[in-house]
Chain A
Amino acid sequence: MRTALRAVWPPLLVLAVLVTGWQAYVTAAGVDPTVLPSPGRVLSQGWANRGDLWDQTLPTLQETLLGFALSFTAAWLVAVVLDFSAAARRGLYPLLVASQTIPIVAVAPLLIIWFGFGLLPKMLVVTLTTFFPLAATLAAGFAATDRDAMRLLRSLGTGRVRAFRLVRVPSALPHFFTGLRVSITYAVVGAVFAEYAGAEKGLGIYMQAQKSAFRTDLVFAAVAVTAALSIALFGATCLLQRLVLPWERALVKEGRS
């Protein structure tokens, strides 16, 4: 708990300084709130519209979580296939890397054309933005398994599937969590972006609507909610890592002492 506090206060301090500077600038220069609202205004207007914001947050959160679940499943499937088959590694991996160069900006509207304004195209955008870091770190994690450990198991006559379960999966997990932390922060942004391309509900379409109405303060409020969601999900993955890999923290602690 103390270490958590120690990690949290420096960024909070920096944030406080930035927000104070922003507030001071807006007040002193008398900036038009439709151009740049003060943080105080964003906060008060956001609070006044909290019911509305909450209604928009739920669908975004749903798209994020479902899209991420799909991404998670696909990443495991692909990484396992890549690990078991050298042919798949040769044939599939370069395509996966190449797929990262396709701009989501171009794909998102197409997904709307193909799948409509519902949940599915948003899920797919989230999946597309988060899949690669997950699959790549997991595949790299499998590949990074100690060769001598694999040899030891082979000398005992252990089959591939059992060796995979006993050694390759656990030794890949720390790598996987690195990918998980990176991609979960993309996930919310992915969902918001997908809504921008066309949606009935959600933070993305809400931002667009408020921008058109010159309610810049509410755009900022929605951005703040998006950031809070990302941070919460990031925190959740850190918590999950602690639960799944209790030995890792003990090891780090040992290394420090």
Chain B
Amino acid sequence: MSLEVRGVTKAFGSLAVLRDLNLSVEPGEFAAVIGPSGSGKSTLFNLISGLDRPTSGEILVQGAPASVASGKVAYMPQKDLLFPWRTVLDNTALGLEAQGVRKKEARRRAGELFEAFGLDGFQSSYPFELSGGMRQRAALLRTVVLERPVLLLDEPFGALDSLTRTEMQLWLADMWQRYRWTVVLVTHDIREAVLLADTVHVLSPRPATVVERIEVPRSGPRGLDALSEPEFAATERRLLDSLSGRVSRVNEVTAG
């Protein structure tokens, strides 16, 4: 297992945010975590990246307890956090520099990915010169170039307009098929989860726990064509039911 969250509870004072939460992600799996807003998704991410410790339960990344020092998790926050004083290339190299790689080496390694990320030609531009989608791609590049075993993406496309968001989702699907990263994506966009993920973990309202784990059925590669498949709509419906606390109709049918 790349990532195992075992019976994790997290409380801040008397406020319980996570309750007995279980989650596991295999190597090369694209997992989505979906939940109502304020359900503690960010808290879960802080725990997985080692910024915070669970009140009880344990989190294992490649078999070892999650910690900042182990360097196994690369975290891409919701905001792109590109720095205005750094060029795009220097921004994408920042993660490497932050973990102690020499500047020249960091730039070289980040630079190698520019073409694959559709950023070629913008190396010496400043972030404000990029479109929203390009900024997110640069932020993802900064995360991916660290080559850590687990990628945590925290609502990476939440701030984009709907058209750009769809473009970015398709692009990420394409990139994932090429690189097969192990990804945990937090989102509140049902379609995004179904489009990108192998498994979707549905969180309950606070205190959050995983109420359902749904495997997304796939008959072809993920992409634009998948949107018109009947099972796509069925999975979307199932997720919607699960999120709104209704018993899914699929279950009703099998039960009846």
Query: Of A146, A152, A157, A245, which one neighbours B85 at CB under 8 angstroms?
Result: A245
Q: Which 3 A-B pairs have the closest CB atoms?
A: A158-B98, A155-B49, A155-B75
Given A156-B71, A166-B97, list of 12 further CB < 8 A pairs?
A149-B83, A151-B51, A151-B77, A155-B50, A155-B68, A155-B75, A156-B99, A156-B146, A157-B69, A170-B86, A250-B126, A251-B126
* Chain A, Cβ-Cβ closest to B139: A152
User: Which residues of the other chain, A, contact B86 by a CB distance below 8 angstroms?
Assistant: 170
Count of A residues near B, CB < 8 Å? 24
Q: Do A157 and B71 have beta carbons less than 8 Å apart?
A: yes
Count of B residues near A, CB < 8 Å? 26
Q: Do A171 and B100 have beta carbons less than 8 Å apart?
A: no
User: How many A-B residue contacts, CB cutoff 8 Å?
Assistant: 61
Query: Of B68, B75, B100, which one neighbours A162 at CB under 8 angstroms?
Result: B100
Tell me whether B144 is interfacial, beta carbon within 8 Å: no
Provide the bound-state CA to CA distance between A5 and B95, in Å: 42
Tell me whether A225 is interfacial, beta carbon within 8 Å: no
A interface residue numbers (CB < 8 A to B): 146, 148-149, 151-158, 162-163, 166-167, 170-171, 173, 245, 247-248, 250-251, 254
User: Which residues of the other chain, B, contact A163 by a CB distance below 8 angstroms?
Assistant: 98
Q: Do B97 and A247 have beta carbons less than 8 Å apart?
A: no
Q: Do B49 and A251 have beta carbons less than 8 Å apart?
A: no
Tell me whether B94 is interfacial, beta carbon within 8 Å: yes
Provide the bound-state CA to CA distance between A245 and B84, in Å: 10
Q: Do B129 and A167 have beta carbons less than 8 Å apart?
A: no
What's the least CB distance linking B128 to chain A, in Å?
Answer: 5
What's the least CB distance linking B41 to chain A, in Å?
Answer: 15
User: Which residues of the other chain, B, contact A250 by a CB distance below 8 angstroms?
Assistant: 126, 128-129
* Chain A, Cβ-Cβ closest to B96: A156
Query: Of A152, A167, A248, A254, which one neighbours B77 at CB under 8 angstroms?
Result: A152
Provide the bound-state CA to CA distance between A152 and B85, in Å: 17
Provide the bound-state CA to CA distance between A166 and B126, in Å: 17
Provide the bound-state CA to CA distance between A7 and B256, in Å: 80
Query: Of B73, B74, B84, B100, which one neighbours A251 at CB under 8 angstroms?
Result: B84
Provide the bound-state CA to CA distance between A158 and B49, in Å: 13
Q: List 19 A-B contacts (CB under 8 A).
A: A149-B81, A154-B51, A155-B51, A155-B68, A156-B71, A156-B146, A157-B71, A157-B99, A158-B98, A158-B99, A166-B98, A170-B85, A170-B86, A171-B83, A245-B85, A247-B126, A248-B85, A251-B128, A254-B128
What's the least CB distance linking A82 to chain B, in Å?
Answer: 22
* Chain A, Cβ-Cβ closest to B74: A156
Tell me whether B108 is interfacial, beta carbon within 8 Å: no
